[in-house]
Amino acid sequence: MELKFSDGTRIAFDTIAVENEVADNMYQRSELDYLIYNDPIAYADLILNGDSEAYLKAVTEYKPLD
């Protein structure tokens, strides 16, 4: 993913590396994938300014198989 700012500067994210670093399970990876494709601005804001681990724990529910 690459962002271009109004002043012409660019920043690139390696989304796979981000997932490997912050996502603990497939549900959290799925949430990040959803943001990448459906709300890339929110994804970039989360990675640059937010606490992505806390966000993922709040919005995903992990239920291991019994």
- Tens of pLDDT, residues 45-63: 999 898 888 888 888 876 6
* H helix runs in 1-66, sequence order: 15-22, 26-38, 40-49, 52-59
Residue 64 lies in a domain: no
Residue 66 lies in a domain: no
Residue 11 lies in a domain: yes
Tokens, residue 20: 């490997």
Q: How far is CA 25 from CA 41, 57, 66, in A?
A: 23, 10, 16
Task: Determine the pLDDT at residue 57.
Answer: 85
Residue 39 lies in a domain: yes
Task: Determine the pLDDT at residue 66.
Answer: 63
Range of the domain at 28: 2-59
Task: Determine the pLDDT at residue 53.
Answer: 85
Q: What angle do CA 26, 2, 41 make, to 5 degrees?
A: 65
Q: How many domains does the chain have?
A: 1
Residue 65 lies in a domain: no
Residue 31 lies in a domain: yes
Residue 48 lies in a domain: yes
Q: Which positions of the chain have pLDDT values less than 70?
A: 62-66
Query: Are the C-beta atoms of residues 37 and 50 closer than 8 Å to each other?
Result: no
Residue 37 lies in a domain: yes
